[in-house]
């Protein structure tokens, strides 16, 4: 007797050949991702970045524009992500409930430390920032929802890498350890030593590894199986978030992350 087909899936669900993908949709979504990851691109720049013809890119953009997924800034003729994309993306946050459960902890953490609190997850080998609570200071870190970062130069990324299964960790590291500042950990052994220290103390430190002059301290959030599925962090300029404060702030971030773990039904290691 054949196994019943899960509802919501066609008979060819496990067939990943090209005939079961919509190539035009695949190209369109690639263009949307390029728009989302930029701070505004002209049609020519966008077509080049997406490796598509200008005519194809324009048809895709005008279609997305009609649904509010992208917007055209008339004066500069640059395309930006639109409110429609935000509304669609917000459905993910509603489904996970993680952002809702973390909000109170993030607000408290911002008030305690005086710095911006961030929430992120691992997505396709990168950190995806879900939400943040900004400090009121004039100089502050800013990671709008949807921002991505390589894991090895992110506080949240390293907090998650420190608890990642070895095979998965090897896969992520195989993507390459690109340097962004002189402090970036681009040597695998140096990164491994940092992850061992991170796991031992319970929080990670991004010590100007992604952006010079900015420091981040992050701790993992665990699910019911004890897997690190998200990270909570505090980010700020080095002159306020000094290494001398790292232990104190690290304890605050760990406590806040543990509170979110418990609020979402998770358990720590």
The CATH number of the domain holding residue 70 is 1.10.10.10
Domain boundary among 86, 112, 133: 86
What's residue 19's pLDDT?
Answer: 52
**Does 217 share its domain with 257?**
yes
Per residue in 6-25, pLDDT (tens digit) is 554 455 444 444 554 588 89
- Work out the angle between the directed axes of helices 43-50 and 54-66 (0-180°, nearest 10): 110
Question: What average pLDDT does the segment 65-83 reach?
Answer: 91
**Does 114 share its domain with 77?**
no
> Does residue 216 surpass a pLDDT of 70?
yes
Tokens of 156: 């949240």
* Residue 102: CA count within 13 A, CB half-sphere: 32
Question: What average pLDDT does the segment 39-54 reach?
Answer: 92
Comparing 32-41, 176-185, 212-221, the range with the smallest average pLDDT is 32-41
Q: Flag whether 74 is in a domain.
A: yes
What's residue 21's pLDDT?
Answer: 59
What's residue 199's pLDDT?
Answer: 96
* Residue 208: CA count within 13 A, CB half-sphere: 11
**Does 197 share its domain with 230?**
yes
What angle is formed at CA 41 by the lines to CA 36 and CA 44, rounded to 5 degrees? 125
Most confident of 40-44, 119-123, 155-159: 155-159
Q: Flag whether 183 is in a domain.
A: yes
What's residue 175's pLDDT?
Answer: 87
**Does 170 share its domain with 200?**
yes
CB 269 within 8 A of CB 160: no
Q: What is the largest CA-CA distance in the chain?
A: 68
Give me the sign of the Cα torsion angle 243, 249, 250, 251.
Answer: positive
For the chain, what is the mean pLDDT?
88
Per residue in 189-215, pLDDT (tens digit) is 999 999 999 999 999 999 999 999 999
Question: What average pLDDT does the segment 104-108 reach?
Answer: 95
Q: Flag whether 9 is in a domain.
A: no
CB 157 within 8 A of CB 232: no
Domain boundary among 54, 86, 118: 86
Most confident of 17-21, 24-28, 34-38, 154-158: 154-158
Domain boundary among 60, 86, 112: 86
How many domains in the chain? 2
The radius of gyration of the chain's CA atoms, rounded to the nearest angstrom, is 20
**Does 29 share its domain with 50?**
yes
Domain with 65, as residue range(s), is: 18-86
> Does residue 1 surpass a pLDDT of 60?
no
């Amino acid at each position: 007797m054949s196994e019943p087909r899960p509802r919501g899936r066609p008979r060819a669900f496990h067939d990943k050949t090209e005939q079961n993908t919509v190539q035009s949709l695949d190209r369109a979504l690639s263009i949307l991702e390029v728009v989302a990851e930029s701070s505004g691109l002209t049609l020519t720049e966008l077509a080049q970045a997406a490796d598509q013809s200008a005519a194809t890119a324009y048809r895709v953009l005008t279609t997305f524009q009609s649904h509010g997924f992208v917007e055209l800034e008339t004066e500069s003729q640059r395309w930006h992500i639109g409110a429609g994309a935000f509304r669609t993306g917000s459905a993910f946050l509603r489904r996970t409930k993680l952002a809702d459960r973390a909000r109170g902890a993030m607000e408290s953490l911002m008030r305690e430390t005086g710095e911006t609190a961030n929430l992120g997850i691992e997505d396709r080998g990168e950190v995806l920032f879900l939400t943040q609570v900004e400090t009121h200071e004039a100089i502050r870190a800013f990671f709008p929802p949807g921002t991505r970062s390589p894991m090895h130069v992110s506080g949240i990324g390293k907090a998650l890498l420190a608890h990642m299964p070895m095979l998965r960790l090897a896969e992520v590291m195989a993507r390459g350890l690109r340097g962004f500042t002189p402090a970036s950990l681009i040597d695998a052994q140096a990164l491994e030593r940092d992850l061992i220290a991170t796991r031992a103390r319970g929080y990670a430190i991004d010590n100007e590894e992604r952006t010079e002059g900015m420091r981040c301290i992050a701790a993992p959030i665990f699910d019911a199986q004890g897997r690190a599925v998200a990270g909570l962090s505090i980010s700020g300029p080095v002159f306020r978030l000094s290494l001398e404060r790292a232990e104190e702030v690290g304890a605050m971030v760990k406590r806040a992350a543990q509170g979110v773990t418990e609020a979402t039904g998770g358990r720590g290691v």
